[in-house]
Amino acid sequence: MVLPAGDRPGADATQALGALWDYRVYARRWVFLLVLSLLSFSNATLWLSFAPVADMIAHHFLLSTEQINWLSRVYLVASIPSGVVAIWVLDSVGLRWATIVCAWLNFAGSVFRTLPFMVGGIQDPFAFLMGGQSLCALAQTLVVFSPAKLAALWFPEHQRATANMIGTMSNPLGILVANLLSPALVKKEEDIPMMLGIYIIPAGITCLLATACLLESVPPTPPSARAIHSTSEKFLDGLKLEFIGLCGALFIVFGVLGALVLSLYVDRTKLFTEAVKIGFCLTSVVCVAFALVSQLQGQTLALAAICSLLGLFGFAVAPVAMELAVECSFPVGEGAAAGLIFVLGQAEGVLIMVLLTALTVRRAEPSVSTCQDGQGPLDWQVSMLLMAGLCTLFSCFLVLFFHTPYRRLQAEASASCSIQEDMSPATMDREPHPAATP
């Protein structure tokens, strides 16, 4: 095909046009997705494998419940520094080596947890349990960040969302399996080694597949035009260029930190309702600030600070709100209560996003930002004000009308009192002696 001289593209356009004719997809992209999905699944099962049988683990190793809880919390703590490192690794080392390193960390952590059973005479089993969980925790951020990168590099446009969904949803699937499998495997303390050994199997298989089957980070020929430009900027330059990514990172980091601190506080005080109400009110204030400041120019630092506060207050409330839902819905099962909250929250999020997007319009006046497609940017002023208004309205409704007893705590307290009464000396003295029974 020969174009007229006036219509011939420049060098960059010619390169892109040539690449357009050479686009190709490879069947081994599904192998890469399988490995990444299995890795995400295995890492999630290792994360919460102890939680459903915490009482037996604590009794067997003579540990406190707080120590057992830290075997799960270490994932949250490790995600703060390792999340930043994971971004750099994916952009600098490449997807293949990032996945292989992640698979070996995950496998090593799963094996390290079993050493108290494999090696006799260990004085501090908690150190080995925490060490293994820490290695798995370091792998988590790479697991969570990789599906989007894999979809962009290996899959065509009409398969990217599906590939990202498969890789991402493998993680909550692993959480679900861990919550079902651990109680099913551990009926008595002697079953704990078997449980730990079973969780090694998917970690080992994934490690073997990652090492043997992943041969390259990118395909020889890109699957789409977007894949040509999917190579990221250098880490620090990328953070400066993609300000929205920096705001998202700040939101997550401060959110995880806030969730950790608030969860520890609520565990000690049991002030579920107060923590949720205050958290929602602070989130509403920050949301109003975001709606106003986002309309101003040159407020980069202010927006970054607001996103950090939004994560600190809003994201941190989520786990406490889940616990509050379980408390007020008892004796409904924990999974049913938390699952219903999650599903309703997702449905509400979809409706609100559709509504907010529908209210946007193209800016008529010149703007400091320009979209890549050459069109004017969207004006989100009405949408942001509506979001702030809805957040404030829901927070006021929660504060004024939500009052609930902690039914699960009350049931546990009643059961504890009954056991103490049954074991009291006065009760035992009233029981007839076997020898005195006719």
pLDDT recorded at residue 1: 37
* Neighbouring residues of 135: CB distance < 8 A, sequence distance ≥ 6: 105, 106, 108, 109, 112
- Looking at residue 76, its pLDDT comes to 78
For residue 282, is pLDDT > 90? yes
What is the rounded CA–CA span in Å between residue 430 and residue 117? 45
- Least Cα distance to 384 among 253, 246, 245, 286 occurs for 286
% of the chain exceeding 90 in pLDDT: 19
Question: For residue 7, what pLDDT is reported?
Answer: 38
For residue 42, the model assigns a pLDDT of 94
Per-residue pLDDT tens over the stretch 32-73: 999 999 999 999 999 888 888 888 888 888 888 778 888 888
pLDDT digits (tens, 9 = 90+) for 359-417: 887 766 655 554 444 455 667 788 888 888 988 998 999 999 999 888 878 887 887 77
Q: Give pLDDT tens digits for 124-149.
A: 888 999 999 999 999 888 888 788 78
Mean pLDDT of 167-181: 83
Stretch among 156-165, 205-214, 348-357, 421-430 having the lowest mean pLDDT = 421-430
Q: Check pLDDT > 90 for residue 122.
A: no
* 244 contacts: CB under 8 Å, gap ≥ 6: none
